[in-house]
Amino acid sequence: MANATSFQHITTPAALAKFCDDNAQTKFVGFDTEFVSENCFRPQLCLIQVSTEKDYALIDTLAIEDMTLFWHWLCDGDHITIVHAAREEFLFCFRDVGKRPSNLFDIQLAAGMIGCEYPAAYGNLVNRMIGVTVDKGETRTDWRQRPLTDRQMDYALEDVVHLWPVYQKLFKKLQQLDRVEWLREEMDQWQTALEKTVTHPQWRRVSGIARLKPAQLAIVKELWIWRNKEAERRDRTPKRVLADDLIVELARRGTSAPAQIRAIRGFGNRVQGTAMEGISAAIGKALALPKFEHPPRITSTKTINLGLLGQFLTTALNVLCRTEQISSSIVGTAQEVRDVAAMRLGILKLKDKPKLLMGWRAEIVGQLIDQVLDGRIAIRVDDPNSDHPLKMEFLEADTGKNSE
Q: How high is the pLDDT of residue 138?
A: 65
What one-character DSSP code corresponds to residue 4? T
| Residue-level pLDDT at 43 | 95
- Report the largest interatomic distance among the alpha carbons of the chain, rounded to a whole angstrom: 76
The answer to whether residues 52 and 89 belong to one domain is yes
Give the chain's mean pLDDT: 92
Q: Which of 151, 166, 199 is the C-terminal boundary of a domain? A: 199
Domain CATH for 260: 1.10.150.80
243 and 187 co-located in one domain? no
Query: What residues make up the domain containing 66?
Result: 8-199
Question: Looking at the domain assignment, is residue 298 inside a domain?
Answer: no
CA distance 161 to 195: 28
Of 137, 167, 199, the one marking the end of a domain is: 199
Residues 377, 337 within the same domain = yes
What number of other Cβ atoms are within 10 A of residue 314's Cβ?
17
88/22 same-domain check? yes
Confidence check: pLDDT of 171 > 50? yes
Looking at the structure, do residues 332 and 228 belong to the same domain, yes or no? no
Based on the fold, state whether residues 151 and 246 are members of the same structural domain. Answer: no
Cβ-proximal residues to 177 (8 Å cutoff; 6+ apart), any chain:
113, 114, 325
Residue 402 covered by a domain: no
Cα distances from 50 to residues 73, 162, 165, 198, in angstroms, run 12, 11, 14, 25
CB burial of 260-292 (b: ≥16 within 10 Å; e: otherwise) equals ebeeeeebeeebeeebeebbbebbebbeebeee
Q: Is the pLDDT of residue 403 over 60?
A: no
Q: Are 332 and 314 in contact (CB under 8 A)?
A: no
Is 39 inside a domain boundary? yes
Beta strands in 247-386 (DSSP E): 377-381
Residues facing residue 380 across a β-bridge: 391
CATH number (domain holding residue 183):
3.30.420.10
Q: Is 404 domain-assigned?
A: no
| Co-location of 14 and 138 in the same domain | yes
The pLDDT of residue 361 is above 90: yes
Bond preceding residue 238 cis, omega within 30 of 0: no
Residue 195: how many CA atoms within 13 Å on its side-chain side?
A: 12
Could you tell me if 45 and 135 lie in one domain?
yes
Asked whether residue 2 is domain-assigned, the answer is no
pLDDT in tens, 330-339: 999 988 999 9
Is 18 found in the same domain as 134? Answer: yes
What pLDDT is attached to residue 402?
43
pLDDT, tens digit (0-9, with 9 covering 90-100), for 55-68 = 999 999 999 999 99
Residues contacting 34, CB < 8 A, separation 6+: 46, 47, 49, 141, 143, 156
41 and 158 share one domain: yes
| Domain annotation covers residue 301 | no
Q: Per-residue pLDDT for 5 more than 50?
A: no
Provide the domain count of the chain: 3
- In terms of C-beta distances under 8 Å and separation of at least 24 residues, what long-range contacts does 364-371 make, across chains too? 364/320, 364/321, 364/324, 364/326, 364/331, 365/317, 365/320, 365/331, 365/332, 365/337, 367/404, 368/316, 368/317, 368/320, 369/313, 369/337, 369/340, 369/341, 369/344, 370/344
Lowest mean pLDDT among 8-12, 274-278, 286-290, 302-306: 302-306
Question: Mean of the pLDDT values across residues 125-135?
Answer: 94
What share of the chain in percent tops pLDDT 90?
79
Quick one: pLDDT band at residue 2, thresholds 50, 70, 90? Answer: very low
Structure confidence by residue, pLDDT tens digits, 210-237 = 999 999 999 999 999 999 999 999 999 9
Q: What is the pTM (predicted TM-score) of this model?
A: 0.90
Tell me the pLDDT band of 388, cut-offs 50, 70 and 90.
confident
pLDDT digits (tens, 9 = 90+) for 290-325: 999 999 998 776 777 888 998 999 999 999 999 999
Closest listed residue to residue 14, CA positions, set 77, 63, 80, 85: 63
Q: Are 25 and 121 within one domain?
A: yes
- Does 320 lie in the same domain as 265? no
Classify residue 128 by burial, with Cβ atoms within 10 Å: 0-12, 13-18, 19+.
middle
Find the radius of gyration of the CA atoms of the chain. Answer: 26
Note the pLDDT of residue 397: 56
Least confident of 22-26, 304-308, 358-362: 304-308
What mean pLDDT is predicted for residues 257-281?
A: 94
The answer to the question of residue 400 being in a domain is: no
pLDDT in tens, 262-272: 999 989 999 99
Instruction: Please measure the distance between the N-terminal and C-terminal CA atoms of the chain and give it in whole angstroms.
Output: 54
Amino acid occupying residue 315 = T
Domain boundary among 261, 293, 325: 293
C-beta separation of 67 from 75 below 8 A? no
> Does residue 184 fall inside a structural domain?
yes
Which residues pair with residue 29 across a beta bridge? 81
What is the reported pLDDT for 404?
A: 40
